[in-house]
C-alpha cells in the first residue's frame, strides 16, 4: 500500500511546506527533487563520523569510507542492472554526457558520420554533440517528432541510415515527458552498427532501468533528480566501450603510474574516469536515495505519479484558457500555457499562491518548431505529491487572469 | 503624479496597455541603429532593442522579442520615455528609474508612466524583467559613445 501521507513525513521540506502560509506545493521535480531525511542523514553522517578521503586507505577510517564508496557502485549497478565496473561516478548528468561526447564520440567519429538526436533534447545532450560535430566533421541529424514530442518507431526507422554512428536520446523528455521505446530503438540502432547514448536524467528516477536487457551502450543520469544530493551523477557504459573511451579529466586517482618522460598508465574503467576527489557525501547520499526508492518500488511510484498526472490533466482540460501540450505522455510532466499570459507571469502568479513550477524553454531550445510555442509552463510530479496538492495547483489556474498577474507587482 | 501612484488600478491599466499594445514594437533594417540583444539575463526573456542616436539625441527606439508582461510593458514605456531626449537627459532618466526599482527616493515627474513599476522592487525575481529594456538602451548609448 502506497501511503503518501506517511512518505511525506520522511521529507523535512514537505513538513515545513505544509505549515507555511500559503502552503507550499513543490511541482518542479524535473529540475530537482526534495531529499528525504535518510539521505540528509547519510550526508551528515559522513561529515560527522568519517570525513576522510577515499582511495588512500592507509588507515582504518579511510579504508572504511573507500569501501562504503565502492559499495555504492554495487548499489547503482544493481539498481540499473549492470556490473559495478560499468558505473562511472560523475558530477551529474551533464558531466556524464560530456564525457561520452569527448571521451568516446570524438575519438571514433569521422567526417560525414552522423549523430542522430531529437529536437526535444536538453541542452546538456545537444551542446556537447555540436562541439563533437564541429571537431570531427560529423553531421547532426534530427529525428521526426509529432506535436506531442513523441518519437515513433516508424519515424525512427526512416531517419536511421548507414552513416548514423551515434544515436543520442532522452528516455523521457524533460519538456513534454514523452517516453521513448528505448529497447526497440536500441535494437534498430545496433542493426545499423551504431551506438546509442541514453539521457536517463528524467527516466531513471521514475521508472525501472534495465541497461543490460535494453542493451543500451551508454546511459547518463543525475542523483539530485532522484532524492540524492547535488554534485553526483552516473555514466553507465558497456565495459568494452569504457575501455575504448578516454577520460576527459586527468589527475590523482585515475592513473596507475607515470614517469618523467610522460609515460602514463591509466587505471582500468571506471577508475580512469574519476580523477580528483569526488563528491563523497553525494555518492553516499545516492546510496540512501536508491535504497529509499527501491523500498517504495517503481511499480507503486509510477502508478501514483501517472494517476496524479491524469487527474490533473482531466481537470485542466475543462479550462478553456489552458492549452495542454502533452496530454497523452506517460510520465509525471505536464506542459501547458495559459492563453494570453506569458509563462513567467503564470509561474510568478502560481508562486504567489505557493505553487512552484518552471517557466520557459526548459533548456530544450530546439523544440519550439515542433510544439509551435517558444515557451511552456511545466509542472512536474514526484511520488510524494498528493491529490490535495494538485487541487491547489488546479484551483490556482482556474481563475488566473492577466490583471491578477500584473497586480502582483503592486 | 503622487495621486496616480496611489491608484494601482490606473497603474495596472498602464502596464496592461503597454503589454497588449506595445509601442515601437518592431525592428528596423538600418545600419545606423545601435542594437542590443538581451537574452542572457534569464532563460526566458529574449529582447532586442534598437536605437538611433544622432546629434546627441535619441531619435528613435524600437524593440521586439519574446518577453513577459513586465519586460514588454517596461521596454515599451522606456521607448516612449527616451525618444527625443538628449543623452544626458536619457542617462538621468535611466538612473532615476533604477533608483525607483531599488525602492530608493526618485523623481516621479521624470519617470512619467514608468512609475507604474514603482513597487516592482518588492518582487526581487521580477527586477530583471523590469530593467531589461533599460539595460539594453544603456548598451546602445555606450556603444554610440564608444563609436564617437
Ligand atoms: C533530460 C535532462 N538531461 C540532462 C539534464 C542535466 O542534468 P544535470 O543538471 O544534473 O547535469 C537534465 C536536467 O535538467 C535533464 O532534464
Q: Look at B69 and A341 and tell me if their CB atoms are within 8 Å.
A: yes
Residues A140 and A183 reside in one and the same domain: yes
Q: Is the CB of A122 under 6 A from ligand 1?
A: yes
Residues A346 and A275 reside in one and the same domain: no
Residue nearest to atom 16 of ligand 1 (CA): A174
Of A150-159, A270-279, B4-13, B41-50, minimum mean pLDDT range? B41-50
Residue B41 has pLDDT above 60, yes or no: no
Dump the DSSP string for B9-72. HHHHHHHHHHHHS-TT------TTSEEEEE-SSSSS-EEEEEEEEETTEEEEEEEEEE--HHHH
Alpha-carbon distance of B136 to B47, in angstroms, equals: 9
The per-residue pLDDT for B7 is 86
Residue B19 belongs to domain with CATH number: 3.90.1010.10
Q: Which of A246, A279, A294 is the last residue in one of the domains?
A: A294
Residue B2 has pLDDT above 80, yes or no: no
Q: Look at A343 and B125 and tell me if their CB atoms are within 8 Å.
A: no
Alpha-carbon distance of B39 to B41, in angstroms, equals: 6
Q: Look at A342 and B123 and tell me if their CB atoms are within 8 Å.
A: no
Task: Please tell me the distance in Å from A179's CA to the nearest CA on chain B.
Answer: 25
Total structural domains within chain B? 1
Taking CB atoms and an 8 Å cutoff, what residues of chain A touch B125? 348
Q: Is the CB of A238 under 6 A from ligand 1?
A: no
Query: Ligand 1: which of A225, A233, A358 to mutate, most ligand atoms within 8 Å of CB?
Result: A225
Residues A9 and A69 reside in one and the same domain: no
From A340, which residue of chain B is nearest by alpha-carbon distance? B20
Residues A102 and A64 reside in one and the same domain: yes
Residue B112 has pLDDT above 90, yes or no: yes
Q: Which of A294, A315, A347 is the last residue in one of the domains?
A: A294
* A342 has a chain B CB within 8 A of its CB: yes
Tell me whether strands A218-222 and A195-199 are parallel, antiparallel or unpaired: parallel
Going by C-alpha positions, the residue among A366, A232, A392, A383 that lies closest to residue A294 is A383
**Which pLDDT band holds residue B148 (cuts at 50, 70, 90)?**
confident
Residues A302 and A373 reside in one and the same domain: yes
CA-A223 nearest atom, ligand 1: 10
Q: Is the CB of A120 under 6 A from ligand 1?
A: no
Domain of B132?
2-147
* B112 has a chain A CB within 8 A of its CB: no
Residues A213 and A257 reside in one and the same domain: yes
The answer to whether A286 touches A76, Cβ cutoff 8 Å, is: yes
How many angstroms separate the alpha carbon of residue A250 from the centre of ligand 1? Answer: 24
Q: Is the CB of A199 under 6 A from ligand 1?
A: yes
**Which pLDDT band holds residue B43 (cuts at 50, 70, 90)?**
low
Q: Which of A230, A263, A294 is the last residue in one of the domains?
A: A294
Residues A186 and A301 reside in one and the same domain: no
Distances (CA, A) of A373 to A205, B37, B45: 28, 20, 14
Residues A327 and A194 reside in one and the same domain: no
Domain of A347?
4-31+297-407
* B11 has a chain A CB within 8 A of its CB: yes
Residue B1 has pLDDT above 80, yes or no: no
Alpha-carbon distance of A308 to A291, in angstroms, equals: 24
Residues A324 and A267 reside in one and the same domain: no
Examine the residue annotation and report whether A291 is marked as an active-site residue of this protein. Answer: no
Residues A170 and A225 reside in one and the same domain: yes
Residue A360 belongs to domain with CATH number: 3.90.1150.10
* A174 has a chain B CB within 8 A of its CB: no
Going by C-alpha positions, the residue among A59, A54, A56, A81 that lies closest to residue A70 is A54
Which 359-398 residues of chain A touch chain B by CB within 8 A? 359-361, 363, 374-375
Residues A105 and A254 reside in one and the same domain: yes
Task: Please tell me the distance in Å from A177's CA to the nearest CA on chain B.
Answer: 20
Provide the β-strand partners of residue B62. B50
Alpha-carbon distance of A72 to A395, in angstroms, equals: 42
Task: Please tell me the distance in Å from A401's CA to the nearest CA on chain B.
Answer: 11
Task: Please tell me the distance in Å from A99's CA to the nearest CA on chain B.
Answer: 25
Residue A88 belongs to domain with CATH number: 3.40.640.10
The answer to whether A343 touches A350, Cβ cutoff 8 Å, is: no
Residues A195 and A235 reside in one and the same domain: yes
The burial of B3, by beta-carbon neighbours within 10 Å (0-12 exposed, 13-18 middle, 19 or more buried), is given as exposed
Per-residue tens of pLDDT for chain A, all 410 residues:
789 999 999 999 999 999 999 999 999 999 999 999 999 999 999 999 999 999 777 899 999 999 999 999 999 999 999 999 999 999 999 999 999 999 999 999 999 999 999 989 999 999 999 999 999 999 999 999 988 889 999 999 999 999 999 999 999 999 899 999 999 999 999 999 999 999 999 999 999 999 999 999 999 999 999 999 999 999 999 999 999 999 989 988 888 888 888 898 899 999 999 999 999 999 999 999 999 999 999 999 999 999 999 999 999 999 999 999 999 999 999 999 999 999 999 999 999 999 999 998 776 667 777 777 888 999 999 999 999 999 999 999 999 999 999 999 88
Dump the DSSP string for A179-190. BP-HHHHHHHHH
Alpha-carbon distance of B71 to A232, in angstroms, equals: 36
Going by C-alpha positions, the residue among B64, B72, B78, B134 that lies closest to residue A340 is B72
The per-residue pLDDT for A373 is 82
Amino acid at each position: 500500500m502506497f501511503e503518501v501521507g506517511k512518505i511525506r513525513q520522511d521529507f523535512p521540506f514537505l513538513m515545513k511546506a505544509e505549515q507555511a502560509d500559503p502552503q507550499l506545493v513543490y511541482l518542479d521535480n524535473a529540475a530537482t527533487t526534495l531529499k528525504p531525511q535518510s539521505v540528509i542523514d547519510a550526508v551528515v553522517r559522513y561529515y560527522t563520523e568519517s570525513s576522510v578521503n577515499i582511495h588512500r586507505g592507509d588507515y582504518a577510517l579511510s579504508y572504511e569510507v573507500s569501501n562504503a564508496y565502492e559499495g555504492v557502485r554495487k548499489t547503482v549497478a544493481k539498481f540499473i542492472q549492470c556490473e559495478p565496473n560499468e558505473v562511472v561516478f560523475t558530477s551529474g548528468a551533464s558531466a556524464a554526457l560530456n564525457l561520452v561526447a569527448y571521451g568516446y564520440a570524438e575519438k571514433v567519429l569521422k567526417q560525414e558520420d552522423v549523430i542522430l538526436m531529437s529536437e526535444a533534447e536538453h541542452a546538456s545532450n545537444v551542446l556537447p554533440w555540436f562541439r563533437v560535430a564541429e571537431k570531427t566533421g560529423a553531421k547532426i541529424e534530427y529525428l521526426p517528432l509529432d506535436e506531442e514530442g513523441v518519437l515513433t518507431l516508424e519515424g525512427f526507422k526512416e531517419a536511421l541510415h548507414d552513416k548514423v554512428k551515434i544515436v543520442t536520446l532522452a528516455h523521457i523528455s524533460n519538456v513534454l515527458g514523452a517516453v521513448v521505446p528505448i529497447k526497440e530503438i536500441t535494437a534498430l540502432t545496433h542493426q545499423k552498427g551504431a551506438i546509442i547514448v541514453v539521457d536517463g536524467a528524467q527516466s531513471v528516477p521514475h521508472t525501472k532501468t534495465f541497461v543490460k536487457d535494453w542493451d543500451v551502450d551508454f546511459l547518463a543520469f543525475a542523483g539530485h533528480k532522484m532524492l540524492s544530493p547535488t554534485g553526483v551523477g552516473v555514466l553507465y557504459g558497456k565495459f568494452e566501450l569504457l575501455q575504448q573511451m578516454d577520460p576527459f579529466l586527468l589527475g590523482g586517482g585515475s592513473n596507475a603510474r607515470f614517469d618523467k618522460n610522460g609515460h602514463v598508465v591509466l587505471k582500468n574503467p571506471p577508475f580512469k574516469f574519476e580523477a580528483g576527489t569526488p563528491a563523497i557525501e553525494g555518492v553516499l547520499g545516492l546510496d540512501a536515495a536508491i535504497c529509499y526508492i527501491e523500498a517504495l518500488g517503481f511499480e507503486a511510484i509510477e502508478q501514483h505519479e501517472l494517476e496524479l498526472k491524469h487527474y490533473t490533466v482531466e481537470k485542466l482540460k475543462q479550462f478553456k484558457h489552458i492549452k495542454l501540450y502533452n496530454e497523452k505522455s506517460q510520465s509525471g510532466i505536464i506542459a501547458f500555457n495559459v492563453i494570453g499570459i506569458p509563462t513567467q507571469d503564470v509561474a510568478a502568479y502560481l508562486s504567489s499562491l505557493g505553487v512552484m513550477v518552471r517557466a520557459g524553454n526548459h533548456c530544450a531550445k530546439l523544440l519550439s518548431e515542433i510544439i509551435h510555442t517558444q515557451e511552456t509552463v511545466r509542472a512536474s510530479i514526484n511520488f510524494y505529491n498528493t491529490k490535495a496538492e494538485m487541487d491547489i495547483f488546479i484551483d490556482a489556474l482556474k481563475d488566473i487572469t492577466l490583471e491578477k498577474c500584473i497586480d502582483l507587482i503592486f | 503624479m503622487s495621486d496616480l501612484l496611489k491608484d494601482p488600478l490606473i497603474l495596472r491599466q498602464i502596464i496592461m496597455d503597454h503589454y497588449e499594445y506595445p509601442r515601437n514594437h518592431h525592428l528596423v533594417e538600418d545600419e545606423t541603429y545601435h542594437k542590443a540583444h538581451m537574452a542572457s539575463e534569464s532563460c526566458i526573456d529574449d529582447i532586442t532593442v534598437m536605437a538611433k542616436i544622432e546629434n546627441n539625441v535619441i531619435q528613435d527606439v524600437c524593440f521586439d522579442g519574446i518577453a513577459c508582461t513586465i519586460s514588454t510593458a517596461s521596454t515599451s514605456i522606456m521607448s516612449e520615455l527616451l525618444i527625443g531626449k538628449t543623452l544626458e537627459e536619457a542617462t538621468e532618466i535611466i538612473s532615476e528609474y533604477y533608483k525607483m526599482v531599488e525602492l530608493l527616493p526618485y523623481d516621479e515627474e521624470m519617470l512619467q508612466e514608468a512609475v507604474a513599476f514603482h513597487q516592482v522592487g518588492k518582487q526581487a525575481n521580477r527586477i530583471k524583467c523590469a530593467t531589461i529594456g533599460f539595460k539594453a538602451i544603456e548598451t546602445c548609448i555606450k556603444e554610440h559613445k564608444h563609436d564617437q
